[in-house]
Amino acid sequence: MRASAFIIFFSIVFTIYFLVNFYIYKHGLMAIPKESPYRSIFIWGFWTIVCCFPIGRIVERFWTSPVMDAVIWIGSFWLAAMLFLFIATLTIDMVRLSNLIVPWFDRAFGSSFEQVKLYTFVGIFAGTFVTVLAGHINAVWTRVSHYNITIAKNAGNIGKLRVVAASDIHMGTIIAQRRIGKLVRLVNEQKPDIVLFAGDIVDEDLGPVIRRNLGSKLEQIRSKYGTYAITGNHEYIGGAESAVKYLEQHKIKVLRDKAELIDSAFYVAGREDRESQRMAGFKRKEVAELLASTDKSKPIILLDHQPYSLEKASDAGADIQLSGHTHHGQIWPLSYITKAIFELSSGYLVKGNTHFFVSNGYGSWGPPVRLGNRPEIIVLDITFKK
């Protein structure tokens, strides 16, 4: 990743992060009486937890230990809590604004207003804790999404093909041995002919992946034609070249703006992630250019991490496109944002002659929490007809 892009990206992220936390902190402080002994506990505890995520993500690049793992886990859970606390605080400010327009607090609460503020504060934090816990349980409850489709093309001697696909695994400190082991078991249980990973296999920094030897888990995936993958934006954030080298050392073939003919029957084509130019300084191929050398009479499966401009894949002759990236918002209500940005935020869509699939992703970025959707792997049973 280019140094300038790295500095700009993380400067924006951390500025927003600390401004949101300061907004929550000021409102929390207003709810605690000045004479309360819990006031100092709140101040120190709040900022200690806030600092866990940035400190943990920086330090894990150089040092891994159980203590640092705990710091990262606490910081990651806080990201989810921060979202819900921000929404709750914003809602309270809207209520306060209504009181400025039509004063009603005194009539409703009178002298008990200070107690109401404290109880509201405690209730919001307790509700947030329960919500984050429920979201974490949901985040490890992976579903298998099964689709049956027909492609009106000749695939040689192959009449049917089972594809197992996953995206957004985010291997690292949070998605480590246990979750990767579960992924491998789930994939192998489907008895795939080919396995496809649609980007963001590594969660930014490769160090925790190497130190935990997570690649050895991926080597246990079994399929007839092997495992193919593409880069995602997180590979570029952490350094795409080193991530690709590591994956290929562990029996995963990474397609970088390349189409490969499998068993003289069908193609798997993989695009570089769209962040390649901004973060690494080179422009990826357009879909039409990528597929120009393929035999369009044969089935073509395209992997493109970020599902923008779906019509380009359809116009270029791809029969199937597999994508991820969106996490379908990962945590409600962020799904409304991904639905607004992407034509397909999650699930299945036919556009022209192309079947599009966007996965919610297997892992999670930041908080190990999902609300409003579940992690998944996708199973495609494809029938070819001449």
DSSP code of residue 331: B
Q: 63 or 325: which carries more pLDDT confidence? A: 325
CATH number listed for the domain at residues 143-384:
3.60.21.10
Q: Return the closest-CA partner of residue 296 out of 323, 314, 272, 308.
A: 314
pLDDT-wise least confident of 18-27, 62-71, 345-354: 62-71
The distance of Cα 257 from the centroid of its chain, to the nearest Å, equals 22
**Annotated domain spans of the chain:** 3-138, 143-384
pLDDT digits (tens, 9 = 90+) for 139-196: 999 999 999 999 999 998 899 999 999 999 999 999 999 999 999 999 999 999 999 9
Hey, how many other C-beta atoms are within 10 angstroms of the C-beta on 283?
11
Q: Is the four-CA dihedral 368, 323, 153, 193 of positive or negative sign?
A: negative
Contact 208, 179 (CB under 8 A): no
Count CA atoms within 13 Å of residue 373 on its CB side.
27
Contact 33, 118 (CB under 8 A): yes
Contact 226, 260 (CB under 8 A): no
SS3 46: helix
Number of helices (H), then strands (E), in the chain: 14, 12
Q: Is the four-CA dihedral 156, 162, 168, 170 of positive or negative sign?
A: negative
pLDDT digits (tens, 9 = 90+) for 245-263: 999 999 999 999 999 999 9
Instruction: Report the phi/psi class of residue 185: left, alpha or beta, with left for phi > 0 and alpha for psi in -120 to 50.
Output: alpha
Please state, in angstroms and rounded to a whole number, the distance separating the CA atoms of residues 233 and 239: 10
Q: What is the average pLDDT across 373-377?
A: 96
Hey, how many other C-beta atoms are within 10 angstroms of the C-beta on 83?
23
pLDDT-wise least confident of 38-47, 92-101, 330-339: 92-101
Q: What is the average pLDDT across 324-348?
A: 96
Longest dimension (CA), the chain: 82
pTM for the structure as a whole? 0.89
Contact 321, 310 (CB under 8 A): yes
